[in-house]
């Protein structure tokens, strides 16, 4: 399976949880909105009952004041009366319960009693007006109105508290449901993620261990099998291909190195042969050896010259060494120093060093040689005559 797909699968519980939480939130929002509307209705009912009871008390108060001779209260009654009638008219159209309808009917009865008392007062019969608002029926109706208002208020209070509790329950249910869904989804996602991380880490550890073991040895190896995740399998196959290619390249390099070493050994042998041929030592007599110099004397050939000449003097017990310098390509400071070491070495070994074949352009350089270090001859016969 592809690693990206595995990651999406690991995250899928969270995506599902988000979708479910979104649905729960939408459903909870609708329930909360309905519960809030119900709470608002209960609150309005409480306010309406309190407002209606206030209007009833004002109606009753202003009528009593007018009948008792306070004419200033009539304007207040005229102001409050339409409001009382409009309020209870609307109240009756909205509420259809027995208590509400009974309360509206009782209020209408009270208003009718007030109107009758005010009519008696307008006719000048204050006594009949007082008797009417003091009668048993009037007070029984007033007490009934207050009892109905109190009952309605208590009923609305019970409804209000119940709807508040329902609103809290809906909110709590939505919260705990969403929390449970999110918690379970996170737990599942974490489990899948940990499993994926464990598989990836275990596979990487195996590849690392194999790579370390193969790096410590020169032998060919095969990587361990790992988790069937496409990217990891591709990585493992790529490493294995690299190991195979490196092994083949190593074999090729080993073969090339062996061939190069063999070629180098042949070249070394050839160079040794060339060096031996470039400084050949031949005998000119029983105690005379001949050493021709050809080409340039670099540091290596100078050292070889010194070693070859002195070894030949020692081994052949030579009394003279004839050195032909005609073939030297150049006579520089290092060449002069090498010749002086050969001359001093020959003297120490009891032999005479004779230079032959000096060219005119070389003669000035050889004048720098110490006096008595070498003897000079034009050619080999002349050098042999010096020896004899």
Tens digit of each residue's pLDDT, the chain (388 residues): 565 666 666 667 777 777 887 787 787 788 888 888 888 877 887 787 787 788 888 878 888 888 887 765 677 777 887 887 787 777 767 766 777 788 788 888 888 888 888 888 888 888 888 888 888 888 898 888 888 878 877 887 888 888 888 888 888 887 788 788 888 888 887 887 777 777 777 777 777 777 777 666 666 667 677 667 676 677 777 777 877 777 788 888 888 888 888 888 887 676 665 555 557 888 888 889 998 988 888 888 888 888 988 999 999 899 999 999 988 888 888 889 999 999 999 999 999 999 999 998 888 888 888 888 999 998 888 888 887 6
Cβ atoms of 67 and 117 closer than 8 Å: yes
Residue 241 has a pLDDT of: 81
CA–CA distance, 345 with 169 (Å, rounded to integer) = 119
CA–CA distance, 89 with 107 (Å, rounded to integer) = 10
Cβ atoms of 56 and 149 closer than 8 Å: yes
Torsion, Cα of 234, 240, 242, 246 (10° steps): 180
CA–CA distance, 128 with 122 (Å, rounded to integer) = 11
CA–CA distance, 75 with 79 (Å, rounded to integer) = 6
CA–CA distance, 17 with 23 (Å, rounded to integer) = 10
CA–CA distance, 273 with 278 (Å, rounded to integer) = 8
Q: Which two tokens stand for residue 103?
A: 């309360």
Q: Would the pTM of this model clear 0.85, i.e. be above it? A: no
Sequence-distant (≥ 6) Cβ neighbours of residue 251 within 8 angstroms:
none
Residue 341 has a pLDDT of: 92
Residue 48 has a pLDDT of: 77
Measured between alpha carbons, how far is residue 364 from residues 189, 238, 361 in Å?
98, 73, 7
Residue 78 has a pLDDT of: 76
Residue 72 has a pLDDT of: 58
Residue 231 has a pLDDT of: 65
- The vertex-317 CA angle with 314 and 318, nearest 5°, equals 100
HEC secondary structure over the chain: CCHHHHHHHHHHHHHHHHHHHHHHHHHHHHHHHHHHHHHHHHHHHHHHHHHHHHHHHHHHHHHHHHHCCCCHHHHHHHHHHHHHHHHHHHHHHHCCCHHHHHHHHHHHHHHHHHHHHHHHHHCCCHHHHHHHHCCHHHHHHHHHHHHHHHHHHHHHHHHHHHHHHHHHHHHHHHHHHHHHHHHHHHHHHHHHHHHHHHHHHHHHHHHHHHHHHHHHCCCCCCCCCCCCCHHHHHHHHHHHHHHHHHHHHHHHHHHHHHHHHHHHHHHHHHHHHHHHHHCCCEEEECCEEEEEEEECCCHHHHHHHHHHHHHHHHHHCCCEEEEEEEEECCCCHHHHHHHHHHHHHHHHCCCEEEEECCCHHHHHHHCCCCCCCCEEECCHHHHHHHHC
Query: Which residue, chain included where needed, has tokens 């470039």?
Result: 278
Around Cβ 384, how many Cβ atoms within 10 Å? 18
Q: Which two tokens stand for residue 295?
A: 């080409």
């Amino acid at each position: 399976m592809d690693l990206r797909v595995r990651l999406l699968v690991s995250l899928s519980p969270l995506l599902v949880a988000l979708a479910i939480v979104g649905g729960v939130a939408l459903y909870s929002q609708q329930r909360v909105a309905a519960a809030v509307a119900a709470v608002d209705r209960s609150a309005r009912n409480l306010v309406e009952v309190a407002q209606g009871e206030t209007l009833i008390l004002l109606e009753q108060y202003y009528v009593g004041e007018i009948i008792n001779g306070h004419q200033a209260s009539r304007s207040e009654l005229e102001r409050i009366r339409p409001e009382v009638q409009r309020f209870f008219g609307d109240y009756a159209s909205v509420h259809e319960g027995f208590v509400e309808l009974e309360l509206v009917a009782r209020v209408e009865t009270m208003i009718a009693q007030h109107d009758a008392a005010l009519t008696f007062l307008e006719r000048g019969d204050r006594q009949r007006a007082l008797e009417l608002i003091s009668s048993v029926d009037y007070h029984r109706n007033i007490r009934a109105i207050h009892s109905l208002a109190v009952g309605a208020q208590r009923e609305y209070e019970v409804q209000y508290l119940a709807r508040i509790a329902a609103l809290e329950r809906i909110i709590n249910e939505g919260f705990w449901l969403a929390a449970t869904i999110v918690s379970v989804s996170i737990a599942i996602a974490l489990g899948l993620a940990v499993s994926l991380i464990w598989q990836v880490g275990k596979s990487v550890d195996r590849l690392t261990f194999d790579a370390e073991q193969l790096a410590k040895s020169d032998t060919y190896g095969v990587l361990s099998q790992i988790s069937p995740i496409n990217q990891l399998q591709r990585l493992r196959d790529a490493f294995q291909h690299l190991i195979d290619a490196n092994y083949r390249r190593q074999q090729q390099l080993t073969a090339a190195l062996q061939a190069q070493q063999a070629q180098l050994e042949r070249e070394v042998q050839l160079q040794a042969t060339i060096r031996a041929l470039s400084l050949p030592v031949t005998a000119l007599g029983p105690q005379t050896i001949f050493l021709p110099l050809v080409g340039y004397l670099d540091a290596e050939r100078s050292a070889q010259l010194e070693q070859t000449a002195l070894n030949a003097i020692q081994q052949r017990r030579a009394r003279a060494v004839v050195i032909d310098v005609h073939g030297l390509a150049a006579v520089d400071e290092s060449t002069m120093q090498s010749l002086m070491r050969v001359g001093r070495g020959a003297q120490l070994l009891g032999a005479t060093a004779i230079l032959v074949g000096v060219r005119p352009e070389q003669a000035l350089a050889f004048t720098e040689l110490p006096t008595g270090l070498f003897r000079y001859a034009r050619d080999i016969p002349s050098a042999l005559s010096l020896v004899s």
